[in-house]
Amino acid sequence: MAGFLAKAQSGQGRCVTIGFEHAEFDETGYAKAAARHFGLKHEIFNVGPSEVLDVLPKLAAAFDEPYSNSSVVPCYYCARVSREAGDDMILAGDGGDELFGGNTRYLKDGVFDHYRMLPAAVRRKLLEPILTSIPGRRSLPLLRQLSNYIELASRSVAHRMTSHNAFAFTPVDGVFSADAFAAIDPQGPARFAEGLYDEAAGDEKIQRMMHLDLQLTLADSDLRKVLTSCTTAGIRVRFPMLDDELAEFSGTLPASLLTVGGRIRQFYKDALAGFLPQVIIDKPKMGFALPMFQYIAELPALAEFFCDALTDLKRRSFFDSRFLDRMIDEARQGRPGTHAGVVWDLAVLETWMASRGILASGAAGAPLAAQGRAPFERAHQG
């Protein structure tokens, strides 16, 4: 997007990059290389834990339902920096991966196909019973990895695509209160994803995965994130990758072109050779995530914000209080581990409900459990 903008404006375009002090999350070096290559004006804005704390309540309240993708924070700052510089519209590159097979999970999921190729009798009557009969298998690293592999391989592709989150291996009945658990359908989100996957045209696995991502990851998550964060920052946004003709063209590409020699986006890189700087073509793919684990440990005020939100959430009787106490304890001690995403999700849920004036007892004094299943189902799906 930056390259074509520079070409259209004879190098007068401007771009903004969000940086992080933690090297494993930071891509400013690549951004600088691209800006130099295209002769663009370039501004870098670093997002740290204090910036997160400053805007998290406002961003949680900006959505029309609880939304907990943490990348909304750097997205918002990117939009705000552009607006403060006098811009009234920004261009976003969302859609490229979903249209042209650029997500790494399209390849990584293939590791589960090997297990599915084994005869069903071998899987169900030999391997799985033997493994589940071994006592303490979850405490031994190798057996734990094998158990996780077989568990995921036994699920549908759509289920695997939508279950890689902090709750993936947390028993649902240990998360929700008894009343809430009785009111939800734990398998509902998986069935919804499977329906989207199955309705895709064509038989190729990667094309079905792309269809699911277009319908769910892009439409329901990424675009909502960018549009809402830009609106909150007071700036318009456009998505050139989602141009109708370009999207239609992407649908004509065969699966054999989307993954070449066990690599994704190779045809994409070949097409842009000589246009993009080589360091960009060779770079590994990264996501746009926050170093949440580190931030919670680095800023006590941020940890306290999460602890307060989870303490307030206990009054709503959605979740098992013992589960929430464990999350509070981890956040307070600065050791959220794999549960940092859970702490974030739950804190955003509480912050959003508080911003809407939703009381712990429910509207008009009615228990929330009696107001329908949607809040529970969305919490589980989130």
Lowest mean pLDDT segment, chosen from 33-42, 98-107, 249-258, 260-269: 260-269
Provide the pLDDT confidence category of residue 165 given band limits of 50, 70 and 90: low
Instruction: State the pLDDT confidence band at 374, using cuts at 50, 70 and 90.
Output: very low
Contact, 239 vs 92, CB < 8 A?
A: yes
Residue 79 near residue 233 (C-beta atoms within 8 A): yes
From-to residues of CATH 3.40.50.620 in the chain: 2-103+222-282
Region 166-191 average pLDDT: 83
254 burial (CB, 10 Å; 0-12 / 13-18 / 19+) is exposed
| More confident position, 375 or 97 | 97
With pLDDT > 90 as the criterion, what percentage of the chain qualifies?
48
Instruction: Kindly state the tokens that stand for 379.
Output: 């919490």
Question: Which sign, positive or negative, has the C-alpha torsion 12, 280, 109, 245?
Answer: positive
- Mean pLDDT check: name the lowest of 65-74, 85-94, 138-147, 322-331: 138-147
- One of 3.90.950.20, 3.40.50.1980, 3.40.50.620, 3.40.190.10 is the CATH number of 2-103+222-282, namely 3.40.50.620
pLDDT(234) > 70: yes
Identify the pLDDT of residue 91: 95
Average pLDDT, rounded, for the chain: 86
> What are the pLDDT digits (tens) for 1-12?
899 999 898 767
pLDDT at residue 332 is higher than 90: no
Question: Are the C-beta atoms of 78 and 16 separated by less than 8 Å?
Answer: yes
Distance CA 378, CA 169 (A): 18
Tens digit of pLDDT for each residue in 82-125? 999 999 999 999 998 889 888 888 888 888 888 888 888 888 88
Does the pLDDT at position 138 exceed 60? yes
CB under 8 Å, gap of 24 or more: what pairs does 140-149 form?
Answer: 149/111, 149/112, 149/115
Provide the pLDDT for residue 47: 96
CA distance 194 to 188: 10
Tokens in use for 122? 């071998």
Cα–chain-centroid distance for residue 13?
29
pLDDT at 377 over 80: no
